[in-house]
Structure formats: structure tokens, C-alpha cells
Amino acid sequence: MEVNPKKPEGIIFINKPRGITSHDVVDVVRGRLKIRKVGHAGTLDPLAEGLLIVLVGNYTKLFPKFVGFDKEYAGILKLGQVTSTGDSQGQIISESDFTSLSEEDVRETFALFQGEMDQIPPMVSAVRVKGNRLYNLARKGITIKRSPRKINIYKLTISKINFPFVEFIVHCSKGTYVRKLAEDIGEKLGCGAHMTKILRLKIGEFKLEEAVDLEHFDQSHLKQITL
């Protein structure tokens, strides 16, 4: 990668806070480094926290390589409620009783969601259909048919069950939507579910532990790496 010594160049691992968009992070980086050529590799929704890789200068050319990496997330799923967005920031659209479920029921169902499978992207995703971002259509109250996509759940491990909450860690392929995974698990259990927390731990071999908080980063956190 050719580096321009006169301009900021490199990669920053940001610990994205909850409540802002990935584009908001890009805007902060642009302002602080005073450079327009900035992008991120892998969207995190406002609810989601954790590792966001920000590419600066000529390193934006590496975007296709980062997109193909596996991801790892820690999440908390809430049983018994389905929301308009698949997470706790949406409106509750249905509620069902979950009290007849046992921990064994939950663990057996989670075990079904490992390996290669089809997943339909949620309407609140950034997937383009006929040139339109799905989330833009969703904001207008429009729902359209989406084609399923092949994903792979390499590992799905329950960390803790405290009804109605289930904490888990998932190692998955690119293109996997954790909120849709939660909805599908809830549907399989017969009570519905949504995500209350999503924390990205890894992108490829890059870990959250390498990241700097958004409010603390500066040009010294730029890394020059070879992929």
C-alpha cells in the first residue's frame, strides 16, 4: 500500500459506542483528521457497539478485503417480544408467552442454528434492492420481498440464560444479520424474540481489544498494515 506522507493514511480500529451510526463515526474521523477520504468496513447499526474498522486515505481501497472477513459478536436476545426492527429500538408488534420454555428447549433450538443456511435480510438492513437501501424503504413503511442469502454460522454458544434474556456469542460469515438470527430463533421457539444488545468482538483476526474509544482517537492511532 502506497502511503502519502503528507496526508493521514491507514486504518483505525474504533470502539463504536451505542446510539450512533457507523456514518457518524466516519464524520468524526473526517473532522478530526481533516481528510475527506474516509470510509468504514462493515456497518454497525445504532444499537450495536464494538469493533468498527475505519479506512483512511488510500486504505479505503482495502474495503473489499475487509468485507469478506468472518465476524464474531456477543449478543443478548429477549424472548417473548417481536419488534419492528428486530431490536429494542423498534416498536413492539407482538408479544407471546415464553414461560413454558425450559433452558433445554432454548439450548436445543440454538443448536439448530449452526452451519450453512439461508437467511432473509431484514428490512432495516443496508442491502440494496433495485437501487434502494432496504432501511430507506423501511423508514417509509414499505416492506418488499427479499431473496434469501447463504450464510454460515460457524459457532453459536450460549453464555447465560436468565429468562427472558439469553446471552450468546456467535462466530459467523460475512452477510450474517444477528438481529435476523434472533428473530428466527424466537420464531422457532414459538414466542418471538429481538436483540437488546449487539457487541462486535472480531473482524477476521482483528479484535475489539485493539480498538480505541471514539472520543480518544487521534492520528497516532492510524495503523499501516498489509492484507
pLDDT of amino acid 7: 79
CA–CA gap between residue 72 and residue 225 (Å, rounded): 21
CA–CA gap between residue 50 and residue 220 (Å, rounded): 20
pLDDT of amino acid 67: 84
Cα-flanking dihedrals φ and ψ of residue 215, to 5°?
-75, -15
pTM: 0.90
Quote the distance between the C-alpha of residue 51 and its chain's center: 9
CA–CA gap between residue 168 and residue 159 (Å, rounded): 5
Q: Exactly one of 45, 70, 87, 218 is catalytic; name it.
A: 45
Confidence check: pLDDT of 216 > 80: yes
Per-residue confidence band for 52, with pLDDT thresholds at 50, 70 and 90: very high
Per-residue confidence band for 129, with pLDDT thresholds at 50, 70 and 90: low
Tell the CATH topology of 71-203.
Pseudouridine synthase (3.30.2350)
Mean pLDDT of 187-200: 97
pLDDT of amino acid 105: 98
Mean pLDDT of 58-87: 93
Q: The domain 10-68+204-221 belongs to what CATH superfamily?
A: Pseudouridine synthase (3.30.2350.10)
- Rg of the chain over CA atoms, in angstroms? 19
Confidence check: pLDDT of 167 > 80: yes
Q: Taking a C-beta distance cutoff of 8 angstroms, is the pair 41, 23 a contact?
A: no
Q: Examine the residue annotation and report whether 45 is marked as an active-site residue of this protein.
A: yes
CA–CA gap between residue 51 and residue 44 (Å, rounded): 9
- Going from N- to C-terminal start, the domains of the chain cover 10-68+204-221, 71-203
Q: 52 or 144: whose pLDDT is higher?
A: 52
Cis peptide before 122 (omega within 30 of 0): no
Distance in angstroms between the alpha carbons of the first and the last residue of the chain:
9
Per-residue confidence band for 142, with pLDDT thresholds at 50, 70 and 90: low
